[in-house]
Amino acid sequence: MRLKDRVALITGAGGGIGEATALLFAQEGAKVAVQDLNAQGAEKVAAAIAETGAQAIAVAGDVTKKADCENVVKTTVEKLGKLDILINNAGINKDAIARKMTEEQWDAVLSVNLKGTFLMCQAALAPMSAAKYGRIINTASIGALGNIGQANYSASKAGVMGLTRTLALEFARYAITVNCVAPGATETQMTAGIPEDIRKLIEGKIPFRRFAKAAEIAQAHLFLSSEQASYITGQTLFVDGGISVGI
């Protein structure tokens, strides 16, 4: 098991990629803190992990609030003993073409996707630096390269990539790696409402001609959290079926 005796905190883990990552990490020997704004969703995933015999806790919290982020980390350390791995998976989208995008749509997406990632990294630094060990994996997106109707989302994810590079430089002195996974189109609740004609258009641009499964993104999280990635930091790994190659 690649994560035996490790403690992982995964944000936005009440469903989708976060849930798939939490389940995989538990299978690989980690104790898992399942964070989500939706407490019910977090509890459901933590219960599913517990049924397998692994240890998990559910922690509700809002990643846009500094106090909540600090409490999520504190609760993880208190209940599971330490914090080795942070997966910043929480994210939202509120799409609109730029000329019609509201200030609320802009602020909401930047607050969760970029500010929330920063606040969680900041909160995790204390226990990780004290232990002289840490793995942080942030979430960007193929959308960081630009996408019509997603000025807010694209900006937030491009920001996450820049944040990752900077924190990799700052956190290296504490033996903490900071990397980024950038998924392409993935089968999640976020993409479930895409109209069929738009979905086919997107699939036609992907060399593999299909959306990723959440479990495939989870495997990238696992690699970057493992000892096999001990000398990798500041990098963005695109898990997109090859679509970024042609952009």
Which residue numbers are catalytic? 153
Across 17-50, b (16+ Cβ under 10 Å) vs e yields: bbbbbbbbbbebebbbbbbbbeeebbbbbbebbe
25 vs 46: CA distance, rounded Å: 12
